Structure 1
Amino acid sequence: MLSLALPVQGAGGNGDTTPSGSPLSSLGTITDTYVAARQRTTAAVSVVVIKDGQTVFDKAYGFADIERQVAADTDTVFEWGSTTKLLVWTSVMQLAEQGKLDLETDIREYLPQGFLKKLKYEKPVTLLNLMNHNAGWQDRITDLYYFAEEDIPELGEALQTFEPRQVYQPGTVVAYSNFGAALAAYIVELQSGEPFYTYVKQHIFEVVGMDNTSIHPAQQDNPAIAQRMENIQGYTTSLKLIKKNRGYMGIYPAGSAMGTAEDAAKFLAALMPAAGSSSPLFQSQAALKKMLSPSLNYEGTAIPRIAHGFFEINHTLPALEHGGNTAAFSSKFTLDPASGFGMVVLTNQANEWEYTTGLTDKVFGEYKPEAYSGDMPESSEVEGQYLSARRGVHGFTKILGYLNGDKITAINNRTYSANGLPFKQIAPYMYAPVHQSGLEYFIHDHGTVTKKSTVYNDAFPVSGLTAYSVTISLTLLGIAALFTIVALISGLAGFIFRRIKRQTKAASEFYKYHLWVNTAGLLLIVNNAILGYRLINYTTYSSIRIHFIGNLLYVLLAGSYIVLLLMWLRRTQSGEKGKIMYVLSGASALIFSAIIGGWDLFY
């Protein structure tokens, strides 16, 4: 039954039409109209469409720099973000074709002895696992960027600094991994005997004529690109300038390329040579065909999910894609090798989707599967909260995974809403978004969902108190923070009152401990607010370790306060009002300490 969800080859994409069925000659009108309708929320976007190795549309819109009124054109340089990874997978397949790499071999055979120090499982990790993003690593945010060129480490050193924990058994969970892609690039570097950026320049950029692209984190492979990047700024989707948007990516093969859309289209064209031609990137068409063929299906189905690092996506026709985001840029590369049709979209707006997804769907067409008439489970069976496998499972970023989880709500028997986006059921436990392309597939055991899969990531259902852990934590945190502030204001008012009355000491000898622990609570809140701010600005782990030390010191102080409180309560004869105030301070200290321990805010 699940095979019925596979798309059927349609008429679109043949001859002089786009995959959606529109004439190629209408691409200009389609794109112009689409951009005009979104002009008020558009910074800059560059679009290139190719067919059978030839460019059939190439145009840029908007402003690369709104403040200086610098118009974007086809020579404007954009950051690629994660679409850079396609250069990694192409490089791996080139060396595999030459017999220098084997996709099924344990990668530790290619790495220096002891290079990976955080592996949990004995099961080998292969290059195919890296391509399929199922090597098992948790996600990591710190040490991703450096902000001075002289601080950029060599790729191998950057990988060892960045190495995340392995938390899933290899081959079992798809969790999109920057580390895995950069590690594959390092293996290319070791096997080729030259820096990865040099390898890419010689074996990809120069081969296909990509003179306007760089992959080195500081553009040392093409200094002119660094200069041209000075002419473009980055913006939010509401056109707010993102002032601090440039950094040097340590594990740069995961997302450091930048260049023109024209150059990116040359790369796609080399992956889809016209009939009778061969790709300049490979010695044989067999290697190219293998790279663009499925390497991972949705679990238990014959439906393709990943093709050696390229993501399988259904539009009017089956296609391959990869998206990318940086602090201020977004991108999408989409190609259909069967029809020789490809599209590049580059924008200077963070987390942009109107063009990278919306315009791509407009040209490639939306996925419209045939209706399924058999018995299907109700959408209520998949309702609930889901945690993405791509998250920090351990450590202080653990809470981010819970904050960014998916909430699925059944609309009716055959439709549900995920974070506001409606999905329709197309086969048992398989859904497609109503207004765009994609799939969501639910793995189940006798009707109980155990995992949700999209093309990029798996996710796991959470229930009970776990599903509300963030809400509970924030509620308790708010109560404790409010009491801490009230206690300090009360203490300050009491101090002023005693000074006016010329009293020399507080009513209770324990009062000073009460003030100390609440002062420490306020400092704790400030400490973690600064930690959160530094985190969203791509800091290094070493620079925020001081915040974890502060949290641990608070826990020790809170424990000391509670011990002193219990000892004092046993011998005091003070009134009930004072006791309640001190006990509440102890309760607040316990709440703060529990949050630190529960959310790993100490490492």
Structure 2
Amino acid sequence: MSRPLRLFLCIFLSMFATAATAQIEIHPLAEKAPPKPTPLGARPLSADDAGAWLDGLMPYGLAKNDLAGAVVVIVKDGQVLLAKGYGNADVAADKPVDPASTLFRVGSISKLFTWTAVMQLVEQGKLDLDADVNRYLDFRIPPRDGQPVTLRELMTHTPGFEETIKNLFAGDPRHFLGNAAWVKEWVPERIYPPGRVPAYSNYGAALAGYIVQRVSGQPFDDYVGQHILQPLGMQYASFRQPLPAALAPHMARGYAQASAPPKPFELVNAAAAGALSASGEAMARFMLAQLQGGSYHGAQILAPATLRQMQDYSRAAVPGLHAMALGFYHMDRNGQEILGHGGDTQWFHSELALFPQQGVGVFVSIDGSDDGGLRKQLLDGFTDRYFPAPPEVPQPAPASARRDGALLVGRYANSRTSASSFMAMLGLLSQVRIEQDRNGELVTPGFRNPAGRPLHWREVAPFLWREVGGRDRLGARVEHGQVRWLSIDAVSPVMVFLPVSGLRSAGWNLPLLGAIVLLFALVALLWPVAALVRRACGKPFALAGRARLWYRLSRVAAIAQLLFYAGWVGVLMRIDASIAEMDSGFDGVLRLIQLFGVLAILGIAAAAMNAWHAWRVPGGWWRKLNSAALLAACLATLWFVGSLHLLVLHLDY
């Protein structure tokens, strides 16, 4: 073959090889997100289906519970799937709820905005989650066991603070303090080791908000408005109190019942813990940002890594129960990871739930003093309808079930309590009791089903029980053969129940308290009755001189005792009726009650002298017995005054 021919063939074969290579070139397809698993039996989550379901649930729930109005918003796959208003924002004006513009008080869901603000400043290197918060404050949080408070502990409700309610709300605008003044007014006692015991703390969230203010150099509501609300286009949302003039006409009025007159706009001193007012569609934008790596329509309020840091963090106080993330708490159900937060003011009740794996979020807010369980019914029903639980095979109870259950029998106190003020009374009254029935199941009179019957629990794993006929769980942390604490799914991220010592058990303290109050009431009542009977029968009073004096003074002491306890009953009733009334204006009432307490304590001397005179005289056994009983009751008051902190000098609670 000639040289030119060989050269031609080489060029031709080279071109052919290039063409062949071009024909089989592989172009990889663009990556797609993995398909979302569809649970067996799930209904398709569409606007039509969800709307029809809600239209059957919400109007009936509002009417049944005498509720004025509500808003429900569902987001899915980066957009608002559904936003609906129900009932009225203003009953008298027959003004319907508009999901786009009607504002609701979202209560403690506000904390999610506070935690978002904290994490923005963490991103910028201005805050350290694990540093002593005193680094950022102009006043001091005392250490506990030599350890400081950190922002991570504030975000997980584990700084160890006792409960606070004084001035949480401002019932009178003249007593409105604002967030910064409220956190500095009084630092609650740290009653638990830091980072250990979850105890939900409004003070902790308000403190975090003040740290945001200090570090950013902006008032808290200005900072949140500029760095969260405005970037997300949350036009109908604000932390300001009272609301700006442009937003005030859009506020739902706030009702105890739809059939009652509206209430004044609630003023929340602990603003960072619960002062946000927002429309349903405004909350939709916040949910979408949380579900889309911190971004909404090009506005990035948090970096994706920061958002993962918040949502992926997990701290479980009780193994097997719902855990706490950074700021969010788990509300998992039906095998679905659900992150969210609830919120309650006096007149509004709200819930926000995110399903990160499904790209779905739900927000509901209800106007009324009590939602009648409608929030739970909605969220449980939503999850069961669109993300039903997988089939389960019943498992036999562990062989240790009876022994494990017996270890839990006793009384428990909520970790969210007070230890330095009269609020300790609530801790005594709210103790829960764990019992065990014949078949080894646990019975909890303190935890009841919607019908009001005590829940029964069957052990499904060591120290983990499941509600019989339900899905809720009860669990216990057991260390060295002792129950350290227990909790249930509904509150386990932020609260536990600690064993109560025999000395502080409500099992004998409450009956004793009832008995001595009854005795004081009888003594106070029978004193004038006895005098009238003697006068009617023409019999002279048998006592004279000092015996007569001490007898009368002992009766005055009984009346002082009775007024002392009656005053505290009134306080408890006032707390139950309206926390907003527990502000500085109530201090005079507390001091008056304490004055009766001082008189009651001084009256112990009169009761003692009356008993001494009664026992000196032969015979007269009735007088001896009732004088001794009165003295014993007066001495018992010393126990309650000390254990319940009824005569402390300060008025912080």
Do both share a fold (TM > 0.5)?
A: yes
Kindly indicate whether residue 486 of structure 2 is the aligned counterpart of residue 452 of structure 1.
Answer: yes
User: What's the offset of the Cα at 1:95?
Assistant: 0.6
Kindly indicate whether residue 44 of structure 2 is the aligned counterpart of residue 22 of structure 1.
Answer: yes
Distance change >3 Å, CA 276–CA 175, structure 1 → 2: closer
Q: Distance in 1 between matches of 2:316 and 2:526?
A: 62
Kindly indicate whether residue 218 of structure 2 is the aligned counterpart of residue 194 of structure 1.
Answer: yes
The question of whether the paired residues in 1 share the 8 Å contact of 2:256 and 2:263 is answered with: no
Q: Distance in 2 between matches of 1:435 and 1:268?
A: 33
Q: Which moved more, 1:416-425 or 1:173-182?
A: 416-425
Q: How high is the TM-score relative to the length of structure 2?
A: 0.80
Q: Distance in 2 between matches of 1:138 and 1:225?
A: 35
User: What's the offset of the Cα at 1:136?
Assistant: 0.7
Stretches of structure 2 that go unaligned for 5 or more consecutive residues are 1-33, 449-453, 649-653
The question of whether the paired residues in 2 share the 8 Å contact of 1:132 and 1:295 is answered with: no
User: What's the offset of the Cα at 1:280?
Assistant: 2.4
Q: Distance in 1 between matches of 2:441 and 2:526?
A: 57
Alignment partner, residue 442 of structure 1: 476
Q: Which moved more, 1:513-522 or 1:83-92?
A: 513-522
SS in 1 for 2:312: coil
SS in 1 for 2:338: strand
Q: How does 1:172-571 map to 2 (within 5 A)?
A: 172-219=196-243, 222-229=244-251, 231-235=252-256, 241=260, 246-273=265-292, 280-282=299-301, 284-298=303-317, 305-316=323-334, 317-352=336-371, 354-365=373-384, 371=393, 375=398, 377-378=400-401, 380-381=405-406, 382-410=408-436, 412-413=439-440, 417=444, 418-419=447-448, 420-423=454-457, 425-433=459-467, 439-445=473-479, 447-453=481-487, 454-462=492-500, 464=502, 466-467=504-505, 469=506, 471-497=507-533, 507-508=543-544, 509=548, 510-536=550-576, 537-538=578-579, 539-540=582-583, 542-547=587-592, 549-569=594-614, 571=616
Q: Distance in 2 between matches of 1:242 and 1:428?
A: 52
Kindly indicate whether residue 85 of structure 2 is the aligned counterpart of residue 60 of structure 1.
Answer: yes
Percent identity between the aligned chains?
A: 26
SS in 1 for 2:230: helix
Q: Which letter maps to 1:199?
A: Y
Q: Distance in 2 between matches of 1:12 and 1:70?
A: 43
Q: Deviations over 1:173-207 (max 9, x none)?
A: 11111111111111110000011011011111111
Q: Distance in 1 between matches of 2:415 and 2:42?
A: 33
The question of whether the paired residues in 1 share the 8 Å contact of 2:564 and 2:597 is answered with: no
Distance change >3 Å, CA 422–CA 476, structure 1 → 2: closer
Q: Which letter maps to 1:107?
A: V
Q: How does 1:97-246 map to 2 (within 5 A)?
A: 97-112=123-138, 114-117=139-142, 119-219=143-243, 222-229=244-251, 231-235=252-256, 241=260, 246=265
Q: Which moved more, 1:407-416 or 1:442-451?
A: 407-416
The question of whether the paired residues in 2 share the 8 Å contact of 1:46 and 1:346 is answered with: yes
Q: Deviations over 1:398-417 (max 9, x none)?
A: 12123223334446557755
Q: Deviations over 1:312-349 (max 9, x none)?
A: 22123111010111112111000122321100010013
SS in 2 for 1:324: strand
Distance change >3 Å, CA 443–CA 368, structure 1 → 2: farther
Q: Distance in 2 between matches of 1:277 and 1:376?
A: 52
Distance change >3 Å, CA 350–CA 245, structure 1 → 2: farther
Q: Distance in 1 between matches of 2:246 and 2:460?
A: 50
Q: Distance in 2 between matches of 1:486 and 1:304?
A: 50
User: What's the offset of the Cα at 1:56?
Assistant: 0.6
SS in 2 for 1:297: coil
Q: Which letter maps to 1:449?
A: V
Stretches of structure 1 that go unaligned for 5 or more consecutive residues are 1-10
Q: Distance in 2 between matches of 1:268 and 1:279?
A: 15
Distance change >3 Å, CA 573–CA 373, structure 1 → 2: closer
Q: How high is the TM-score relative to the length of structure 1?
A: 0.86
Distance change >3 Å, CA 304–CA 506, structure 1 → 2: closer
Distance change >3 Å, CA 519–CA 440, structure 1 → 2: closer
Q: Distance in 2 between matches of 1:116 and 1:261?
A: 37
SS in 2 for 1:350: coil
Q: Distance in 1 between matches of 2:296 and 2:595?
A: 63
Distance change >3 Å, CA 410–CA 368, structure 1 → 2: farther
Q: Distance in 2 between matches of 1:556 and 1:377?
A: 51
User: What's the offset of the Cα at 1:246?
Assistant: 4.9
Distance change >3 Å, CA 434–CA 200, structure 1 → 2: farther
Q: Distance in 1 between matches of 2:256 and 2:502?
A: 39
Q: Deviations over 1:351-382 (max 9, x none)?
A: 53633222112222365685556846416243
Q: Distance in 2 between matches of 1:106 and 1:351?
A: 39
Q: Which letter maps to 2:428?
A: Y
SS in 2 for 1:223: coil
Larger radius of gyration: 2
Q: Deviations over 1:144-170 (max 9, x none)?
A: 122233432242321122421101111
Q: Deviations over 1:125-154 (max 9, x none)?
A: 211111111111111222212223343224
Q: Which moved more, 1:183-192 or 1:454-463?
A: 454-463
Q: Which moved more, 1:170-179 or 1:22-31?
A: 22-31
User: What's the offset of the Cα at 1:278?
Assistant: 7.7
Q: How many residues align?
A: 582
Q: Which moved more, 1:89-98 or 1:420-429?
A: 420-429
User: What's the offset of the Cα at 1:103?
Assistant: 0.8
Q: Distance in 2 between matches of 1:455 and 1:291?
A: 14
Q: Distance in 2 between matches of 1:90 and 1:79?
A: 19
The question of whether the paired residues in 1 share the 8 Å contact of 2:183 and 2:207 is answered with: yes
Q: Which letter maps to 1:61?
A: Y
Q: Distance in 2 between matches of 1:322 and 1:437?
A: 20
Distance change >3 Å, CA 164–CA 13, structure 1 → 2: farther
SS in 1 for 2:323: strand
SS in 1 for 2:419: coil
